[in-house]
Chain A
Amino acid sequence: MSAIIPGLSSMYAGNAGSVISRGVRATKSTNFWIVISGFFEPVFYLLSMGIGLGALVGEVESSGKLVPYAAFIAPALLAVSGMNGAIYDSTMNVFFKLNYGKIYQTMLTTPLGPLDVALGEIFLALLRGGLYATGFLGVMQLFGLNLSWTAILAIPAVIIIAFGFASIGMGITSYMTRFQQLDLIQFFLLPMFLFSATFYPLSVYPEGVQVFIQALPLWHGVELIRALTLGTFSAGHLWHLLYFVVMIVVGLIFTSRRLKKLFQD
């Protein structure tokens, strides 16, 4: 890793764990309901669109398999729940700490390096993303929307997706100095959520639009999770994973460099 990040010894003390336990300690005192509300959002979408709209739509084809509409959109919503959890922690929470809390300044006067801080904070985001995802997968099981045993692999997959979003999200947040700028993130996320083949197959778009959607991270997440819960996963889906691996590595480098620039320049 020191080949990827020059001067790793100046960036990393191998103690991200202390950042995580600080985060858990601090979260105990924040509002439980804020944490919970992020979980319900995709559940409401599933109930209204999947069950309600699904009654009208009937079956859809995915990877050559005919599946109920609710089973088609549920994995997409699962990917979104992981993304939301990660984004909430890596933007709102990180924004507060960067601009008001002086928490990172304190951490970086100790042996902790920017990479410890980034990894610790991102892990906290994953924790939240992972909890949302596990809960949502449980709801899917309840409605019989997991069509294959491979659905269980959706949990680690969602965590990888969340990791990608959190590591980039934290770096982007580091450029923001006012609360209003956080709305920009929502401005980007909402259309991505609606258009990433979440509610209908990619094939409805003309070619050019398809390429654009395929460049966005959520589409890869949706395809990956969908293949796992529908049981259509094949080697051809591995490139979606690769997309997130690249996103994670790039995000980590980007974020820890930003932290170093902000606090250790």
Chain B
Amino acid sequence: MPNPVISAKSLVKKFKDFEAVKGIDFEVEPGESFGLLGPNGAGKSTTMRMIGAVSNRTSGDLEILGMDPSVDGPKIRAQLGVVPQADNLDQELKVWENLYVYGRYFGIDKKIVKDRLEGLLDFAQLKDKRNEKIDDLSGGMKRRLTIARGLMNEPKIFLLDEPTTGLDPQARHILWDRLFRLREQGTTLVLTTHYMDEAEQLADRLIVVDKGQIMAEGSPAALIRQYSSREVAEVRFGSDSNRSAADALSGVGDRIEVLPDRILIYANNGEEILSEVHRRGLVPITSLVRRSSLEDVFLKLTGRSLID
């Protein structure tokens, strides 16, 4: 087995006396695509910033590419591509200058930077905006530029903190496609996301984090198998009657989750569940049957819906 490119042991981050990350362990193999999943405030960004060698750990061990980020920050960051959760583009510079200046921060030769930025403008679909000021870009365009900028140094590890928030479906798919190709070339990906489909598409393996702790770890398929049934029946009775309907449904399926707007019934066969609902004399306003997803894993593990 090759050495992991990221290795965290009992990793802790405290802000004053608040523990944002409470001793987590994980390893990321070279070329792997690794996901962090968790609700708001789980500690995902805090973990990403420690991996990115911009935030010092409070205790525990952390090795990035065989180096300690609190000793060799600059050397580690030279090999990382970073897409922070909040865009931090340089508003005093134009679009193309943002890429150019960023490349120079890495000490990359001017000529090489100029070559690369053409390709990156293309990828970000911002060729015709190259001379615009940052303030004149739309939110999605800024996001695309931030993502493209992260590739300027051809990183070994690409860290993406909620990369597709604010992107339209087309831009999202272009990014996914690019990430697939990067992975084929051997780039290691570490990403956080709130989109289950994105996690299922992109992550070979993921950890589910809540309140600074790891709740589960595995491939998306394995997690679904382990923590959920094969199918889910979703029924809605209107927000006032969901609770009483749930009482009438007790014992149906493997497990029932009552959400504010709907009831989820977990079972191997969803259609059979819907028949049972009707047999009990309940008539939902709407109903559907779907396969279990990471969303359900998440609900099981944290008792909360991911997007809150």
Binding site for B on A (CB under 8 A): 7, 9-10, 12-13, 15, 18-19, 21-22, 25-26, 29-30, 101-103, 105-113, 263-265
Contact mask for chain B residues 39-80; partner A; CB cutoff 8 A; 1 contact, 0 none: 000000000000010111000000000000011111101101
Cross-chain contact A101 with B107 (CB below 8 angstroms) = no
Cross-chain contact A15 with B107 (CB below 8 angstroms) = yes
State the Cβ distance, B154 to closest chain A Cβ, in Å. Answer: 13
Q: A9-B74, A12-B74, A25-B97 are in contact. Are A108 and B104 (CB under 8 A)?
A: no
Q: A10-B72, A26-B93 are in contact. Are A106 and B88 (CB under 8 A)?
A: yes
Cross-chain contact A109 with B82 (CB below 8 angstroms) = yes
Q: How many residues of B contact A (CB 8 A)?
A: 29
Contacts of B105 in A (CB 8 A): 15, 18-19, 22, 107, 110-112
* Sample of 9 further A-B pairs with CB below 8 A, known A22-B93, A29-B92: A9-B71, A9-B74, A9-B75, A10-B70, A21-B101, A25-B101, A101-B90, A111-B77, A263-B54
Find the B residue at minimum CB distance from A7: B71
Contacts of B75 in A (CB 8 A): 9, 111
Is B84 interfacial (CB-CB < 8 Å)? Answer: yes
Is B102 interfacial (CB-CB < 8 Å)? Answer: yes
Closest 4 CB pairs of A and B: A13-B74, A110-B105, A26-B92, A102-B88
A-B contact pairs, 13 of them (CB 8 A): A10-B70, A18-B104, A22-B101, A29-B92, A101-B90, A101-B92, A106-B102, A111-B78, A111-B107, A113-B73, A264-B73, A265-B55, A265-B56
- Which of A21, A106, A109 is B104 in contact with, Cβ under 8 Å? A21
Contacts of A26 in B (CB 8 A): 90, 92-93
Alpha-carbon distance A263/B54, docked complex (angstroms): 7
Contacts of A106 in B (CB 8 A): 88-90, 102
State the Cβ distance, B84 to closest chain A Cβ, in Å. Answer: 7
Contacts of B104 in A (CB 8 A): 18, 21-22
